[in-house]
Structure 1
Amino acid sequence: MKLLLEECYKDEFDDLQDNEYSFGHEDGQNTVLSPYRVLINHYNKYQYEYSDLFYNNLDIPEFWYVYPEGLDGKIMYHGDKKANIYFKEPVVKRNIHKVEWLDNGFNYKTDYYDLYGLKFFSEYYDQNMCLLMTSFYTDDNKEVLTIHHQNGAFLVNTNDKTNVFYSYREFVQYVESFMKG
């Protein structure tokens, strides 16, 4: 099976044959295998069947409420919009693809949900909407991978230590070791 690698890191893999990898972007909805999915599956406690997250089942703070708005949804608290919810296709099923969390209208974090209805990763932004960090989660909501986009570091948090990789290629090679053994 080909491994889906992030398009933005394609230059790091110029020396590899095209039949070993495909390039694109993992958004939690792909049915292809990415290094992120391999890592998360390795640390997940359970194996899951495909099961999307219905918008009314989203875990939110007490007294906040969720409701549809046009083709998407939103989360409100005392008249303040706290998040935008984007449904995956077909939108009439109201299954969550991503949730953009807001603070006074500023989207500081976006959570992406996968084909299993689990929070797969979160992207964190600065005031200029520049991507600062991406965090990937296991099925028990433990942060197992953090990517710091400003310095290009990949931090893999295991039970007893943190492994740091300074290139996407090093990170992919680490993850491929799970696939081989």
Structure 2
Amino acid sequence: MIRLFEWLNQETLDLHYSLETAGLSGTTVLLNDDGCLPEGVTSPYSYFCGMSVGQGKARYFNQIRVPDYWQITGNNTKGEIWNKSDKMADIFYHEPSHLRFVKTVDWLDKKGQVRLSEHYNQSGWVFAKTYFDDKQQGLFKTYLTQAQEEVLIENLRTGAILLNWKDKVHHFTKKLDFILFYLKESGLDLSAIWYNSLAMPFMISYYLDLPGDDILFWQETIGEDVPGNMRIILSGRTHRSKRVIVQDKATYDKMQLLLSEEEKKRVSYLGYLYPEKSENSGQQKILTLTNSDQLEHLEFLVTSLPNYQFHIGALTEMSPYLMGFAQYDNVHLYPNIAQDQVRRLFETCSIYLDINHGSEILSAVRQAFEYNQLVLAFDKTSHNPQLTLADNCFQSDKPEQLVQYLSEISHIQDLVKQQRQGLGQDNPENYRRLLGD
């Protein structure tokens, strides 16, 4: 069995983790590879280019090779390459960006337009290059081995692919044919394909000329009707795809109103198995991570909740305004916070307040959820509504409601259990019951 995913997004990671945790073994294949795949995940590009986890170290931003006397500058957001007063390139990082590991270097022409993007993998070498025309439109993308031998050329306008493989040049007019070739060439077990998209993964299942028992894991919402490709599965018109697993309860309930009795027999609901990195401490300790000094109603919360200890961390220096909160005995500030300190705060604090304006840092809400912190937010600052119960998101113009809630709560561990259940936490037994042999 293989798991076939199109993009490495959070839903894909959650499904991958859930299947692994439930003991349902199989190879995870990603159709789009940015050079930084998790351990145990492969791709057609990784296979043909010979990429694997642990081959080397990621390239730090100032380790890019440039001519003598050129300068490389950078911060936690991006880097730049300069030749005196001329900017030659922009540097973008793999996540988390504050580690400054190079993902892409965009080389610029004299007009400041990107003409070449070099893509670095987690082992620190250029595994792909994208070439652009003078209108900033992609022309073609090449994929390379570690020895910088060209293995694959993808025409970004026509979709055609040339593959140099085993002393032979293979030509594919479309990506679908290339993926089908890869699946057979790789020797993977194709007796079952579990996939999470009705785009390319569905097409692969549909056109693969081998017998199999495939499952669609539906992780999106739906509109007023069930998507057309899903109707094909539910009607029994595919030779491999037989079932649909819906992973959002509200979507599953809505589908039950739209499906016939026969179609319902092919559909099941299954939540996720989220990581649990620690138990909730139960202490009156609140954590917020921010790179902004604008924290919604911070002073009101701090002065109204003297029994709570507020721990506020930032990856950068803090402004004088935010540093001024050190005057309060129940406020603890961590400018330029280290990763070990972040981990300790997630382990020891029991509540995460998602109240910072600006962008989220360190996937803080996600980490808080995985560390079994109770996630609370204001509606104007909530960064991850998918992991914040609706009842735990308070109106910004009524901060006294949040104060009242925090003043009255007890048994935080029980509230965390309710949080997980309300957000679709499932169990390994259900996975094995629905998906096991």
Query: TM-score of the superposition, structure 2-length normalised?
Result: 0.35
Alignment of 1:114-129 (within 5 A): 114-129=121-136
**Structure 2 counterpart of 1:51, from 29, 49, 57:** 57
**Could you say what secondary structure the match of 1:140 adopts?**
coil
Partner of 2:158: 151
The more displaced of 57-66 and 32-41 is: 57-66
Contact conserved, 2:107 with 2:115, CA < 8 A, in 1? yes
**Structure 2 counterpart of 1:93, from 92, 95, 99:** 99
Contact conserved, 2:130 with 2:140, CA < 8 A, in 1? yes
The more displaced of 47-56 and 73-82 is: 47-56
**Structure 1 counterpart of 2:37, from 30, 37, 40:** 30
Contact conserved, 1:64 with 1:77, CA < 8 A, in 2? yes
Q: Does 1:107 align with 2:126?
A: no
| Structure 2 gaps, min length 5 | 8-25, 189-437
Give, in whole Å, the separation in 2 of the partners of 1:113 and 1:145: 16
Q: Which has the higher contact order (CA 8 A, sep 6+)?
A: 1
Partner of 1:76: 82
More helix by share: 2
Alpha-carbon distance change, 90 to 151 in structure 1, aligned in 2, over 3 angstroms: closer
The ranges of structure 1 where at least 4 consecutive aligned residues each deviate by more than 6 angstroms after the TM superposition are: 19-24
> For residues 84-136 of structure 1, what are the alpha-carbon distances to aligned partners after superposition, in whole Å with 9 as ceiling and x for unaligned?
00122333322111111101201011112112112121211222222211111
More strand by share: 1
Contact conserved, 1:88 with 1:94, CA < 8 A, in 2? yes
Alpha-carbon distance change, 79 to 39 in structure 1, aligned in 2, over 3 angstroms: same
Give, in whole Å, the separation in 1 of the partners of 2:185 and 2:166: 16
Give, in whole Å, the separation in 2 of the partners of 1:92 and 1:21: 28
> For residues 132-181 of structure 1, what are the alpha-carbon distances to aligned partners after superposition, in whole Å with 9 as ceiling and x for unaligned?
11111101111111101222210112464422111212211222233218
**Could you say what secondary structure the match of 1:169 adopts?**
helix
Shift in Å at residue 55 of structure 1? 1.4
**Structure 1 counterpart of 2:69, from 63, 68, 75:** 63
Cα-Cα RMSD: 2.9
Query: TM-score of the superposition, structure 1-length normalised?
Result: 0.77
Give, in whole Å, the separation in 1 of the partners of 2:4 and 2:31: 10
Task: Give the structure with higher Rg (CA).
Answer: 2
Aligned residues: 167
Partner of 2:3: 2
